[in-house]
């Protein structure tokens, strides 16, 4: 399968669905009990099945997730992949950003990132310093595109004001349960301002993959798709929204790929938007800052 791209008017495009690496190799610190081989295999099997967007971060397992991605991608054609990493909020000073990016590239064993994100805003460090470093990384060819993550509309505008490049992505917690991007106006802002919203945690760590929620069950039955496939399709059916999931288990990878290449009717998208029970207005994991 070829995972299709979503394209902005600016010309930037990225795959509608990608592979996440949070909890690969550990959580906030490296977990030596995790099996590297199993995780490298999971990334490779995702690429073998058509995934090109791999998302990682400096912070994940203290850089070890990036090392696992580096190991996994070395046997593939780099130009066909879309590799994303993020810089942690305590490294947002000019020199720290440059150093962080260099170390991420080293761990990933690559010369460039397709997209580099500020992981979470840090009001204690002037955003102009950070964006100046991002502009330099771009003009030096180390990163192809600039993005942010967990940014409110206000923080996004402040960052956009001080960079000479277009910020093409905001990666945020968004799924059938967590609606902060809708309630805060961020989704509408992205749609009106030619920005892609990359929805993280699309199946809410598996919660949205279970049967038992009647509105989801009903739509699953109608389209003959599983709840996880509906939850993912609901995201990517929306203008300027793409998503990514972690899938160490091949069964999850294959199931989730079945969320692509078909379209839910508009009235069903709205039915899920309005009728999904237990919606939360603010992310419990990383709220917009
Ligand atoms: N920018 C940020 O602050 C931020 C925050 C969180 C996440 N992210 C990124 O977004 C990615 C995705 O988010 P996430 O990993 O937190 O959550 P997620 O993708 O919603 O959930 C991943 C978990 O759900 C399981 N799963 C996946 N598909 C499933 C399916 N069809 N049925 C049942 N279970 C399924 C996975 O199991 P297996 O792995 O065993 O297959 C894994 O345990 C992350 O990996 C990370 O790259 C970014």
Does the beta carbon of 228 sit less than 6 angstroms from any atom of ligand 1?
Answer: yes
Does the beta carbon of 244 sit less than 6 angstroms from any atom of ligand 1?
Answer: yes
Ordered by where they begin, the domains of the chain are 5-275 (3.20.20.100)
pTM passes above 0.85: yes
Residues taking part in catalysis: 60
Does the beta carbon of 138 sit less than 6 angstroms from any atom of ligand 1?
Answer: no
**Which ligand 1 atom is at minimum distance from the Cα of 172?**
1
CA 205 / ligand 1 centre spacing (Å): 5
Identify which has the larger pLDDT, 118 or 1: 118
CA 25 / ligand 1 centre spacing (Å): 14
pLDDT at 257: 98
**Which ligand 1 atom is at minimum distance from the Cα of 57?**
47
For 5-37, how does the pLDDT look when each residue is reduced to its tens digit (9 = 90+)? 999 999 999 999 999 999 999 999 999 989 999
pLDDT at 150: 98
pLDDT at 230: 98
**Which ligand 1 atom is at minimum distance from the Cα of 86?**
1
Known binding residue 119? Answer is yes
Does the beta carbon of 202 sit less than 6 angstroms from any atom of ligand 1?
Answer: yes
Average pLDDT, the chain: 97
For 51-109, how does the pLDDT look when each residue is reduced to its tens digit (9 = 90+)? 999 999 999 999 999 999 999 999 999 999 999 999 999 999 999 999 999 999 999 99
Does the beta carbon of 246 sit less than 6 angstroms from any atom of ligand 1?
Answer: yes
pLDDT at 243: 98
- Give, in order, the Cα–Cα distances in Å from 235 to each of 46, 77, 173, 203, 241: 20, 29, 11, 10, 6
Buried-state track 110-148, b at ≥16 Cβ within 10 A, e below 16 = bebbbbbbbbbbbeebebebbbbbbbebbeeebbbbbbb
For 179-220, how does the pLDDT look when each residue is reduced to its tens digit (9 = 90+)? 999 999 999 999 999 999 999 999 999 999 999 999 999 999
For 155-183, how does the pLDDT look when each residue is reduced to its tens digit (9 = 90+)? 999 999 999 999 999 999 999 999 999 99
pLDDT at 73: 98
Which CB contacts under 8 angstroms, 24+ apart, belong to 42-47?
42/247, 42/248, 42/249, 42/250, 42/253, 43/19, 43/68, 43/69, 43/72, 43/73, 44/72, 44/75, 44/76, 45/250, 45/253, 46/19, 46/247, 46/253, 47/72, 47/73, 47/76, 47/81
Residue positions counted in the chain: 289
Residue nearest to atom 15 of ligand 1 (CA): 246
State the average pLDDT over residues 236-255. 98
């Amino acid at each position: 399968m070829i995972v299709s791209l979503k394209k902005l008017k600016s010309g930037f495009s990225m795959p509608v669905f990608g592979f996440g690496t949070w909890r690969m190799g550990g959580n906030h610190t490296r977990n030596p009990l995790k099996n590297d081989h199993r995780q490298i295999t999971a990334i490779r099997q995702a690429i073998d099945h058509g995934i090109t967007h791999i998302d990682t971060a400096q912070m994940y397992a203290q850089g070890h997730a990036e090392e696992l991605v580096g190991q996994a991608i070395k046997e593939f054609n780099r130009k066909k992949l879309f590799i994303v990493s993020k810089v942690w909020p305590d490294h947002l000073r000019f020199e720290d950003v440059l150093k962080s990016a260099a170390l991420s590239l080293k761990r990933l064993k690559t010369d460039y990132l397709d997209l580099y994100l500020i992981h979470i805003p840090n009001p204690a460090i002037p955003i102009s310093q950070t964006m100046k470093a991002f502009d330099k990384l771009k003009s030096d060819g180390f990163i192809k595109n600039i993005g942010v993550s967990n940014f409110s509309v206000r923080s996004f505008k402040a960052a956009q004001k001080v960079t000479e490049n277009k910020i093409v992505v905001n990666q945020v917690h968004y799924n059938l349960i967590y609606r902060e991007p809708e309630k805060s106006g961020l989704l509408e802002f992205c749609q009106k301002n030619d920005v892609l919203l990359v929805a993280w945690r699309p199946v809410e760590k598996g919660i949205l993959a279970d049967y038992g929620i009647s509105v989801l069950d009903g739509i699953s039955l109608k389209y003959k798709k599983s709840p996880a496939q509906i939850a993912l399709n609901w995201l990517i059916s929306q203008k300027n929204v793409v998503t990514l999931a972690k899938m160490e288990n091949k069964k999850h990878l294959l199931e989730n790929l079945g969320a692509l290449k078909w379209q839910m009717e508009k009235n069903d998208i709205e039915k899920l938007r309005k009728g999904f029970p237990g919606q939360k207005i603010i992310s419990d994991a990383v709220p917009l800052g």
